């Protein structure tokens, strides 16, 4: 248990349940297990609320939408005054906009977890910026944030979550995958920046070599019509029913077991790539875009392969290299698991976050 228990107010303004929301859920739960008192303030999002409730994390729902919605700021300030936190910890830009405003008016410091290369304007008021990778740190420094204000703490996962998952054979049967089908997959919401279209084009290049190759795409549609666009592209490329768009799945971790290779072909910079870490804990190698963040989650030619962003030919080549060599897949998968257990555990993330909060409070008192 923590020697100095803290009251921590976590604030997030989600639009869908993906990486940032999962990080908040995991971290809040782990901070509570260390003995800290945590309350989450969130916009309405049923999937997030269900996960917080399932893990026993207290939360309140507030109408926090809008960066110029002063009612949101006042409502959050009332929560700060009532909860009396030692620190406000924010996730995403609108949460940080109002979190810093409310915290400072109540004399409380605010730390922001910057999940990716986002607009820096709304983070200027935070007392501490925590990035999940060196890539995010370098980005923030390039945006002229002072180095002493920026810290890297890798996102983490609990190794125990990867034990006792449902048997892959039952999942294959549930999905109706043909006997002998080979499976790769991508777990990401259906946004253009994630690069689903690049993967589809790469799959078309591999059709002749791997006619039994199937691809599972897990992730919610966040832009109306995006799913139909991707399905149309898959049909145009002749991929037929070998690409499955499964939408949001609460059992995404279990389904990831089916992948021989996991893929994240983002055409935009990623903060880290939580799904790549999940695959690593399962001993699955990855192919990803050679961009900041992803290149920290995937050690090129050791735990997976990197390809130039947006280059479907290079992506196909990387996939071909792994799909065509079972020994290489096994070797990289084992290396990925070892590295994940050494560098990306939730316990390490929570301990480092705890230390960062205590340091911020100590230096603030001295100031």
Q: Which two tokens stand for residue 65?
A: 């939408």
The torsion defined by the Cα of 315, 273, 222 and 247, in degrees rounded to 10, comes to 80
For residue 269, the model assigns a pLDDT of 83
For residue 118, the model assigns a pLDDT of 84
- 1 in a structural domain: no
For residue 18, the model assigns a pLDDT of 84
Sequence-distant (≥ 6) Cβ neighbours of residue 101 within 8 angstroms? 73, 76, 77, 125
Q: Are residue 315 and residue 174 in the same domain, yes or no?
A: yes
For residue 130, the model assigns a pLDDT of 98
pTM reported for the whole predicted model: 0.93
Q: Domain holding 38: CATH number?
A: 3.40.50.2000
Detail the DSSP E strand segments found in 120-252. 128-131, 150-152, 182-187, 213-218, 243-247
Structural domain boundaries enclosing 246: 159-343
Q: How many CB atoms lie within 10 A of CB 141?
A: 14
- 302 in a structural domain: yes
State how far the Cα of 87 lies from the Cα of 72, in Å rounded to an integer: 19
What's the total number of domains in the chain? 2
**Burial class of residue 364, CB neighbours in 10 A (0-12, 13-18, 19+):** middle
Q: Are residue 214 and residue 149 in the same domain, yes or no?
A: no
State how far the Cα of 80 lies from the Cα of 307, in Å rounded to an integer: 45
For residue 15, the model assigns a pLDDT of 86
Q: Which two tokens stand for residue 316?
A: 């196909």
- 268 in a structural domain: yes
pLDDT per position in the chain (367 positions), as tens? Answer: 667 899 999 999 998 888 899 999 999 999 999 999 999 999 999 999 999 999 999 999 999 999 999 999 999 999 999 999 999 999 999 999 999 999 999 999 999 999 988 888 999 999 999 999 999 999 999 999 999 999 999 999 999 999 999 999 999 999 999 999 999 999 999 999 999 999 999 999 999 999 999 999 999 887 788 889 999 999 999 998 999 999 989 899 999 999 999 999 999 888 898 999 999 999 999 999 999 999 999 999 999 999 999 999 999 999 999 999 999 999 999 999 999 999 999 999 999 999 999 999 998 765 5
**Burial class of residue 207, CB neighbours in 10 A (0-12, 13-18, 19+):** middle
Q: 318 and 306 in contact (C-beta within 8 Å)?
A: yes
- 183 in a structural domain: yes
- 181 in a structural domain: yes
Q: Are residue 115 and residue 169 in the same domain, yes or no?
A: no
For residue 81, the model assigns a pLDDT of 98
Which SS3 state, helix, strand or coil, does residue 168 take? helix
Q: Are residue 195 and residue 325 in the same domain, yes or no?
A: yes
For residue 117, the model assigns a pLDDT of 83
Q: Which two tokens stand for residue 296?
A: 């920290």
State how far the Cα of 234 lies from the Cα of 197, in Å rounded to an integer: 9
DSSP 8-state symbol, 155: -
For residue 4, the model assigns a pLDDT of 80
- 2 in a structural domain: no
- 218 in a structural domain: yes
Q: 63 and 48 in contact (C-beta within 8 Å)?
A: no
Q: Which two tokens stand for residue 182?
A: 């080979």
Detail the DSSP E strand segments found in 120-181. 128-131, 150-152
Q: 12 and 44 in contact (C-beta within 8 Å)?
A: no
235-282: per-residue pLDDT in tens?
999 998 999 999 989 899 999 999 999 999 999 888 898 999 999 999
80-105: per-residue pLDDT in tens?
999 999 999 999 999 999 999 999 99
For residue 367, the model assigns a pLDDT of 53
CA distances from 8 to 91, 96, 247, 296, 313 (A): 13, 15, 33, 29, 47
State how far the Cα of 160 lies from the Cα of 246, in Å rounded to an integer: 26
CA distances from 233 to 71, 136, 181, 187, 350 (A): 43, 32, 22, 18, 42
Q: Are residue 141 and residue 178 in the same domain, yes or no?
A: no
Q: Are residue 149 and residue 110 in the same domain, yes or no?
A: yes
């Amino acid at each position: 248990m923590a020697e100095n228990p803290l009251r921590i107010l976590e604030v997030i303004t989600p639009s869908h349940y993906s990486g940032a929301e999962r990080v908040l859920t995991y971290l809040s739960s782990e901070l509570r297990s260390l003995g800290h008192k945590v309350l989450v303030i969130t916009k309405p999002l049923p999937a997030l609320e269900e996960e917080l409730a399932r893990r026993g994390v207290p939360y309140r729902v507030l109408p926090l939408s809008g960066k110029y919605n002063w009612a949101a700021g006042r409502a959050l300030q009332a929560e700060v005054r009532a909860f009396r936190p030692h620190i406000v910890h924010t996730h995403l830009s609108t949460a940080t906009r109002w979190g810093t405003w409310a915290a400072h008016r109540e004399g409380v410091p605010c730390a922001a977890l910057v999940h990716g290369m986002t607009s820096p304007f709304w983070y200027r008021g935070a007392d501490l910026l925590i990035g999940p990778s060196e890539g995010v740190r370098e980005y923030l420094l390039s945006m002229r944030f002072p180095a002493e204000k920026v810290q890297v703490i890798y996102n983490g996962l609990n190794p125990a979550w990867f034990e006792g998952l449902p048997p892959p054979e039952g999942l294959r049967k549930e999905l109706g995958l043909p006997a002998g089908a080979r499976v790769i997959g991508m777990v990401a919401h259906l946004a253009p920046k994630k690069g689903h279209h690049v993967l589809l084009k790469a799959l078309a290049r591999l059709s002749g070599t791997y006619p039994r190759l199937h691809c599972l795409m897990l992730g919610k549609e966040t832009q109306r019509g995006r799913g139909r666009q991707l399905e149309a592209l898959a049909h145009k490329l002749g991929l037929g029913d070998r690409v499955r768009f499964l939408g949001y799945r609460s059992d995404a971790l279990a389904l990831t077991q089916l992948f021989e290779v996991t893929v994240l072909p983002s055409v935009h910079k990623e903060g880290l790539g939580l799904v790549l870490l999940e695959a690593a804990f399962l001993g699955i190698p990855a192919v990803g875009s050679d961009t900041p963040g992803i290149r920290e989650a995937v050690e090129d030619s050791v735990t997976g392969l990197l390809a130039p962003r947006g280059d479907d030919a290079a992506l196909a080549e990387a996939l071909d290299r792994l799909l065509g060599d079972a020994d290489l897949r096994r070797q990289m998968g084992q290396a990925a698991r070892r590295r994940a257990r050494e560098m990306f555990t939730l316990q390490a993330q929570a301990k480092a976050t705890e230390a960062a909060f205590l340091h911020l409070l100590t230096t603030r008192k001295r100031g």
